[in-house]
Amino acid sequence: MNQIRYCSTLLVGICKQLGISLFLIGHVTKEGVLAGPKVIEHLVDTVLYFEQVSSGVRLVRAAKNRFGSVDEIGIFSMHEKGLTAVANPSSFFITDRSGATLPAGIAYTAVIEGSRTFLVEIQALTTLAKNGYSRIYSERIDTARVTRVAAILERHAGVRISDQDIYVNVAGGMKLSEVSIELPLALALWSALSGKSLPKALVSFGELSLAGEVRSVGFPEKREKAAKELGFTRSLLPRALSHSPLNQYPCATIRDALEACTKLG
C-alpha cells in the first residue's frame, strides 16, 4: 500500500510539473470497485470505469470528475481496427424494423444519462411456469423492479402473470435503473403475455406507484424531443405537456395505459 501511494504521488507531481496527463490503469473487484488502496481515488482528478455491455459495445462512465459531471457516459463500438465513438448514440440501442407495429413483448422508452437522451428497447417474454413455481430472469433491469411491476399489473390491471416465468432484456445490453422505465416495462410484459403488439412509433415513460398510478418523471420535454428526432410520433406519459412535438396519450393509471395501447394497436 505504501508503495502504491508513493508511486502515485510521485507520478502526479511529475505530471503537474510538466503539464501533462497521465492514465493509471487498474482492475476492479467482483463487487465492481477499484482493486487496491482507495487512496488512489483521492490522488487523481478523474476515475473512469470501462464497461463491456455486449460483445461489441463499450461504455465509459465517470465515478469521479473534478472538472465536470459524473453523470456523462461515452459509447464506443468495437471493430477490427479498435474502438470508435458511436456517431448517433440516441438511436444506438433501438432496432430499425419495418411495419407499423413491434413484435409482441417489445416497448420503446427514452432514458437520460447525464446530458444525453437515449431511446432504448425493452424486451419481455413470458412462458407458463413449470411445477407451479414462477421465476424472473433479468440481467439489465433489477429483478426486484420487474417483480414489483408484475405485481402492479396483476393487482391493478387484472393481468394474470403470477403463473408465468418472466424474461426481461434490454437491447444492446444497457443496464437501466431509472424509474421512468417502469411504465414501458409494464407495457412490454402485457404485450408479451397478451400477444398484442405496440405501435412502432410509440414511446412511453413513467413511474408506477404501488397503487397502480402512473407518476411523472423528470425532463419529459427532453425525452419527447429526442423521440421526435428519431421518427416517433406518439407518446404515452403520465401528464400531457403544454408544448409537445408528439401526439400525446396521458394516462393516470396503468389500466388507462393498457386501454390506450389496445386502442392504438
Quick check: 165 pLDDT over 90? Answer: yes
Quick check: 55 pLDDT over 70? Answer: no
Amino acid at 84: T
pTM of the predicted protein model? 0.81
Task: For the chain, list the domains and their CATH numbers.
Answer: 2-86 (no CATH), 106-264 (3.30.230.10)
Amino acid at 98: S
pLDDT at 119: 94
Range ranked top by mean pLDDT from 75-79, 110-114, 164-168: 164-168
Q: Are strands 214-215 and 207-208 parallel, antiparallel or unpaired?
A: antiparallel
**CA separation for the pair 217, 175 (Å, rounded):** 18
Quick check: 52 pLDDT over 80? Answer: no
Local confidence band at 43 (pLDDT 50, 70, 90 cut-offs): confident
Local confidence band at 254 (pLDDT 50, 70, 90 cut-offs): very high
Best CA proximity match to 191, nearest among 180, 202, 178 = 202
- Higher-confidence residue of 211 and 35: namely 211
Local confidence band at 115 (pLDDT 50, 70, 90 cut-offs): confident
Strands laid side by side in the 82-85 sheet: 46-54, 57-65, 73-79, 82-85
pLDDT at 251: 95
Range ranked top by mean pLDDT from 43-47, 94-98, 155-159, 169-173: 155-159
Q: Per-residue pLDDT averaged across 143-171, rounded?
A: 97
Quick check: 224 pLDDT over 90? Answer: yes
Q: How long, in residues, is the chain?
A: 265
Local confidence band at 93 (pLDDT 50, 70, 90 cut-offs): confident
Quick check: 33 pLDDT over 80? Answer: no
Residue 203 has φ and ψ, to the nearest 5°, of: -120, 145
Rounded to 5°, angle at Cα 81 from 77 and 87 = 35
Side-chain half-sphere CA neighbours of 115 within 13 A: 4
Query: What average pLDDT does the structure give for the chain?
Result: 89
pLDDT at 1: 61
Quick check: 147 pLDDT over 80? Answer: yes
